[in-house]
């Protein structure tokens, strides 16, 4: 890569990294690990993004917002490429992203995304009061990536970002 291309890639990455997830607007796609790579070939920028779930309906919007963010940074005509491999995992979520999730009222993924037991027990701390006295209400929440939990200490329901 020429120095000019490297500089373009760096600016493009910085612009793409500001795009927020439309369903969890406190997280950027960089926080989530959805932003995988930014490359430059023949002066044209290509941004690789990966879906959190196969049916994630936010990917089209994220692609458009990446192109918009790059255009506003003076980089028109960027290409967005969807990559499936390696498969996205919550392990890629940054610590800053996890802290933002908690502050937003969503419990971040607990632990590492190793193979789950069929009926394994999860320990999830309440994002409101921090209590460990929580229970799962449903495996599926308001979006594919979240489950519905409730806190027995402060009585509040909350979303839990599932560990996958």
Partner 1 sequence: MPTTSLSLTETPLLAGILRRADDALILGHRLSEWCGHAPMLEEDIALANIALDCVGQARSFYAYAAEVAGGGLTEDDFAYRREAGQYRNCLLVEQPNGDFAGTIVRQVLFSAFNDPYYRALTGSRDATLAAIAAKAEKETAYHLRHSGEWLIRLGDGTDESHARARTALDELWPYTGELFEVDAAEAALIEAGTLPDPRSLRAGFDATLDHILSEATLTRPAGGWMQSGGRAGRHSEHLGFILADLQYLQRAHPGATW
Residues forming contacts to partner 1 in the complex (CB under 8 A) are 51, 53-57, 84-89, 113, 116, 118-119, 137-144, 148, 162, 164
For 107, residues 6+ apart whose C-beta sits below 8 A from its C-beta are 101, 124, 125, 126, 127, 134, 149, 158, 159, 160, 161
Q: Which is nearer to Zn ion, 42 or 135 (CB)?
A: 135
| Contact set with Zn ion (CB under 5 A) | 126, 128-129, 131, 151, 153-154
Nearest distance from residue 121's CB to partner 1, in Å?
12
The closest of 143, 33, 161, 164 to 93, measured between CA atoms, is 33
Nearest distance from residue 31's CB to partner 1, in Å?
20
The two beta strands, 146-151 and 35-41, are unpaired
| 14 three-state secondary structure | helix
118 binds, among partner 1, Zn ion, none (CB under 5 to 8 A by kind): partner 1
Nearest distance from residue 87's CB to partner 1, in Å?
4
Calculate the CA dihedral of residues 106, 107, 108, 110 and round it to 10 degrees.
Answer: -160
Nearest distance from residue 85's CB to partner 1, in Å?
4
Q: Which is nearer to partner 1, 25 or 120 (CB)?
A: 120
């Amino acid at each position: 890569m020429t120095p000019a291309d490297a500089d373009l890639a760096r600016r493009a990455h910085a612009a793409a990294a500001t795009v927020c997830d439309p369903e969890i607007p406190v997280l950027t796609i960089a926080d989530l690990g959805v932003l995988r790579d930014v490359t430059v070939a023949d002066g044209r920028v290509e941004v690789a993004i990966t879906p959190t779930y196969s049916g994630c309906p936010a990917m089209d919007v994220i692609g458009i917002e990446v192109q918009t963010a790059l255009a506003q940074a003076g980089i028109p005509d960027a290409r967005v490429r969807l990559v499936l491999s390696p498969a996205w995992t919550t392990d890629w979520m940054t610590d800053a992203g996890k802290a933002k999730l908690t502050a937003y009222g969503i419990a971040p993924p607990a632990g590492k995304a190793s193979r789950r037991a069929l009926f394994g027990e999860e320990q999830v701390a309440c994002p409101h009061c921090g209590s460990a006295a929580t229970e799962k209400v449903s495996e599926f929440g308001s979006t594919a990536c979240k489950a519905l939990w409730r806190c027995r200490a402060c009585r509040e329901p909350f979303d839990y970002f599932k560990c996958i």
